Structure formats: C-alpha cells, structure tokens
Amino acid sequence: MRAGLIGLAALAACGPPAPGPLRDFTPVVWKQATPAATRADDLGACELQVAGVSGSMSQAQIRAASVATDARVRLERLTACLRGRGYTVTEGAICTPEERAAGRLVILSATDALPPLSRVVCHAPEVGGFVL
C-alpha cells in the first residue's frame, strides 16, 4: 500500500518553474535529519489516519477503506497529515543526465541524514533518490 501512495504523497506547493528550459517535476515529501524508519512510520500512520482505519486491520481492509475515499480528498488529507508532522510537501525537479553525472546520488531509504531541501540539486524518482 505504501508504494502506491508514495506517488500521491505530495501536492504541488511551488509556483511555476523559473524561465528557462522546461523541466519535469516529481512529488517530494521531506523532513531534514529524520531517520528513514521514522519517515516510513510517519507515512504509514498518515495513510491509516486518512483511510480512517487502524493498523490492526488486514491489508485488504485497509486498501478497501483507502480506495473508498475520493483520490483528491485522500491526497489533501495525506498532505495535511504529513505537514502536521513537520514534513515539507512540494515538488522537485527531476534530474537531467548531466545533473546526475555531476552530483552525488543519495538513495532516500538508505540515509537517515536528509540534508536541507535547499541543498538538493534534483530528484531521481526512478531510483528513489536525490542528487547533491
């Protein structure tokens, strides 16, 4: 269930990109210096809260409750829950091949030390990472 909702876990909070070449953007949920396990637990807790279910229910029951809620409403509630837990919910530029080659790729699930979002050059959603 988490994998399916991670893509829904962000709401565009940015304005239009700066003039220049067109860029592709991806949803970003960020909380500096938060361990990967805490980020996963917070996302899971928010998903349960949005669906109005408890963790003691089966995955099938949780999934059924989740899809019963309108997707737009579910996204708004998930975003609000994550923001309430101190996460930044926004969009970030997807890396170009040149940015990937010039920077250092960091995999989100493999790091507990998220830097300030302002230090991130771009995001690599295909590998669940970002480039510094």
> How far is Cα 90 from Cα 71, in angstroms, rounded to an integer?
18
pLDDT band with cut points at 50, 70 and 90 for residue 50: confident
User: CA angle, 79 as apex, 73 and 63 as ends, to 5°?
Assistant: 60
| Structural domain count, the chain | 1
3-state secondary structure of 39: helix
- In total, the chain counts a number of residues equal to 132
Residues 6+ apart with CB under 8 A from 102: none
* pLDDT tens, position by position, 61-74: 777 777 777 889 88
Structural domain span for residue 60: 2-131
What is the arithmetic mean of pLDDT over 36-40? 95
User: CA angle, 98 as apex, 116 and 36 as ends, to 5°?
Assistant: 35
